[in-house]
Structure 1
Amino acid sequence: MKRWKVWTAALSVALASLCIYAEPIRDLPQGHDASVFTTRTLVRGSQGIDVRELQGRLKFLGYYKGTIDGSYGYGTYWAVRNFQNKFGMKVDGKVGAQTRTRLVRATKGYNPYNPPKQTAGGSGSKTGGNSGNSTRAASYGGKSLSANDLKLLANAVYGEARGEPHVGQVAIAAVIMNRIDNPNFPNTVPGVIFQPGAFTAVADGQIWLTPNENARKAVREALNGADPSTGAIYYFNPATATSKWIWSRPQIKRIGRHIFCR
């Protein structure tokens, strides 16, 4: 009888423990800011719950405007680089220990179990986040472009062609938009600009230089339909080009130091 009572007591303790650990996550307070990040480095192509955590916190600050889907695509990559740039870190689009730590510190009050459905404007303004990420700033060919899309376009034009005449800068912006319209290329601004090997400014980091008003004006003109390249989807500088393939493309015209091609 005593042995039976001992076993019954032990079983009761075990069941009570199970009940404690089975308590639903949804009962956590809304201000709960514990991190569910793992220790692995997140890069473009990564997937998982820690990517969802990353996207949620970036969205909380206003850097990310996409769907929280746990897939580290170009939108997440751009948001990470923007966050790193604003916080004075190495801008490489990789989420290691330093970026994770800064992100967690910048998102006090974030609830990883109830990620935001839209940007939390107050957090974005305090941390330097771009609250315009979720605002449609322009349209092109029936597609809506965000403030970040416009900024990235200006960065690309400035990084690629700041020494070129204005018409040449408009042509560079037009080439990017022509690629978006071409089924052989990604159909988003970040997708085109960050396509591996596509632009020298991305490879050497000049994409992150602050663009001037001339570059922004060139972007606006291209979005309004100006295309001095006459439909080009490639361009190159013949004085520095090392690819034999680019010389095989049908050439359209030369503007400044660049030859524009189909």
Structure 2
Amino acid sequence: MTKQKQWMIAAFTLALAAAPFAGVIFEDHDLVYAKPYAAPQAATGTVDGGEEALPAFGTTPLKLGSSGQDVYELQGRLKHLGYFNGKIDSKFGTKTKSAVTWFQWKFGLKSDGVVGAKTKLKLYNATTAWKPTAPGTSTAQKKAAPKNTAKSNTAELSSGNSMGLSENDLKIMANAVYGEARGEPFEGQVAVAAVILNRVKSPSFPNTPSGVIFQPGAFTAVADGQIYLEPNEQARKAVQQALSGWDPSGGCIYYFNPKTATSKWIWSRPQVKTIGEHIFCM
């Protein structure tokens, strides 16, 4: 009996002596497993508070019929690059779709007019300098604009019209210059207008600007719909300069962009000069 009590006392004493060590082991295990969980929480906090992942637009794809702030941003960024010349009204209409399609084609994306994640990323990266314009600014500009802007533009074009061209011909020429060469230097835009006039004068082509521009396969802007974008003032002035006799192309009747040209035949034409991204040839 005495031995049994001695064993019990010894076991109890041993348990009491081991208790502090058990607590340390338990706490150590807690620390080991706490660190892996703490790290992700810290990383998440950094992403939420930092500037590493600024999204472009929202996550919903934009397409014909969409509206709202994302469309406002889309139109603003496209206008910043010169692809969109319509009114920034936050409504995804046919003009916006045409601008999106043109942008997608230029940047090697699927040209479907739907603004998904890939298109948003490309557009965001291409317009890092873009900043939203306050709606009040555009409204003020609209109020200040003269009511007869269209008439004055036509009058300016007609002032140098020595070929007796119709107002529609002058307008479509400005559309063609804008659709084909709005990213080119002014001299290059005048050269494009001059090429159209040179074709009108040539017996090998239709004898009107409209006939020349809409001749099947003649102009990329007609094929992809950019011909219907509203031209800016620079395109109109380029037409006016060509009508007044300035021909930077040197009498050429063809031009092409060597980076995008798919026709082998065009490379066989005698090349006269290069202006901007276009090679002008006979």
TM-score interval (norm. to shorter): 0.3 to 0.5
TM-score (norm: length of structure 1): 0.47
